[in-house]
Amino acid sequence: MPVFADYARYYNLLYRDKDYAGEAVFVLETLNGLGIAPGALLDIGCGTGRHALEMTRRGVRVTGVDVSKTMLAMGEKNIAALNSSDFPCPLPVLRQGDARNIRLRQQVDAVTSLFHVMSYQNSEDDALSVLRTAREHLAPGGLFFFDFWHGPGVLRDLPERRERTMEDADTRLRRLAVPEHHVGDNVVVVNYTVDITDIAQKRTAGIRESHSMRYWFLPELRYLARQAGFSVAGEGGWMRREPPGLSDWNAWMVLRA
């Protein structure tokens, strides 16, 4: 089953508490601090477009790209329900495409790839392809901001079985995540079981998906960045300006074209 198949339909509910606005502000402030106040931005792996919308609220014209038709349809439905006059620039445009090979024949000031898209690239070749996609869409001096699972943090705080429950007026979700750690490949396969209950009908169904996640070490990413025509402009623990440490499961990197 493809990653984010049935799971995608419930994505917004599962992550409704995620601070998309705060993350968008952090990303834009980081880019501004490195000399780029983006007027136009490409968001690779945009999902349902929630980061893209938050950036649009702050005056950035965003094109989002994702491989999941389901997520894009959800995002387009949300965007269609908005009043464009409430935004300082045009609403995001969402396109289907693979982060490894899409080419839009346009250049932007900045590229982002958020919520661990880089960790869904399990091989060096796939990660390098995503980096080249970003580089293709940037003029010299443009910036690529992405986040990833940070190897030292993952190895210090090993993946474990986790469960969470979320609900809205119509649906209750119970998600069980069971990891398989493939240490030799720097990969964690997260096996999800999601029980979906229709609250009114009192009916429950289930889905299962496996997401294979690569954790990365800074020297690996720096090397691949050079191969793709970038230099490193910044690194940090997620939502922090300090370099990532042993306690950081999530980290970010900014590359300059």
User: Please, what is the average pLDDT of the chain?
Assistant: 94
Per-residue pLDDT averaged across 236-240, rounded? 98
Q: Check whether residue 219 and residue 207 sit in a common domain.
A: no
Q: Check whether 219 has a pLDDT greater than 50.
A: yes
Output the pLDDT for position 8: 63
Given a cut of 50, is residue 25 above it in pLDDT?
yes
Residues 107 and 222 in one domain: yes
Judged against a pLDDT cut of 50, whether residue 2 lies above it is answered with no
Q: Which of 36-50, 158-172, 180-194, 241-255 has the lowest mean pLDDT?
A: 158-172
- The arithmetic mean of pLDDT across residues 237-247, rounded, is 97
What token pair was written down for 250? 């999530």
Identify the pLDDT of residue 143. Answer: 98
Residue 1 domain-assigned (yes or no): no
Is 147 in the same domain as 202?
A: no
pLDDT grade, residue 7 (50/70/90)?
A: low
Query: How many domains does one find in the chain?
Result: 2
What pLDDT score was predicted for residue 4? 43
Strands (E), 74-185: 93-96, 108-113, 138-150, 162-167, 171-182
Q: Which domain holds residue 92?
A: 6-151+215-256
Domain identity same for 87 and 191: no
Mean local confidence (pLDDT), 170-189 = 95
pLDDT at position 6 is 57
DSSP one-letter code for 5:
S
**pLDDT digits 0-9 by tens, 125-175:** 999 999 999 999 999 999 999 999 999 999 999 999 999 998 888 889 899
Does this model's pTM top 0.85? My answer is yes
Indicate the angle between helix axes 218-227 and 124-136, nearest 10 degrees: 50
- Same domain for 173 and 139, yes or no, is no
Is residue 138 domain-shared with residue 92, that is, in the same domain? Answer: yes
Please compute the mean of the pLDDT values over residues 181-198 and round it to a whole number: 95
Contact 248, 141 (CB under 8 A): no
Q: What pLDDT sits at residue 41?
A: 98
